[in-house]
Amino acid sequence: MRQPKFIDLRGFLSFQILHELSKKPLCGDELAAIIGQRKGAKLTPGTIYPALKALRKTKLVQHKKTGRKKMYRLTQTGTNEYKISRDNLESFFKNLLKK
């Protein structure tokens, strides 16, 4: 999918991470692959891991080491925040795109 030149989707990375983790726990590489595929561009570790660190710092995400991988999952606070954010974004875009 061609990305529009006038819309910057970088601000949605945290939401996209919360969205994917609302489905199931994932490691950073899996998150980068899923989000990168949707975005149409590869996400680098320098993009995904600082975002995960910020989400951990705000207690929305936690991780558990499994071998060499860290599996990330939403906390209860993260689940609540994701639902609120999802509902607000859905409402915003519905209202924005009303004809």
Per-residue pLDDT tens digits for 44-55 = 889 999 999 999
pLDDT class of 40 with cuts at 50, 70, 90: confident
Residue 22 to residue 29: CA distance in whole angstroms: 17
Residue 13 to residue 26: CA distance in whole angstroms: 15
Residue 39 to residue 41: CA distance in whole angstroms: 6
pLDDT of residue 41: 79
Its pTM stands at: 0.86
Q: What is the mean pLDDT of residues 30-43?
A: 88
Q: What is the mean pLDDT of residues 31-56?
A: 91
Domains belonging to the chain, first-starting first, are 12-96 (1.10.10.10)
Residue 75 to residue 61: CA distance in whole angstroms: 5
Name the E strands within the chain: 26-27, 61-66, 69-74
pLDDT value at 15 more than 70: yes
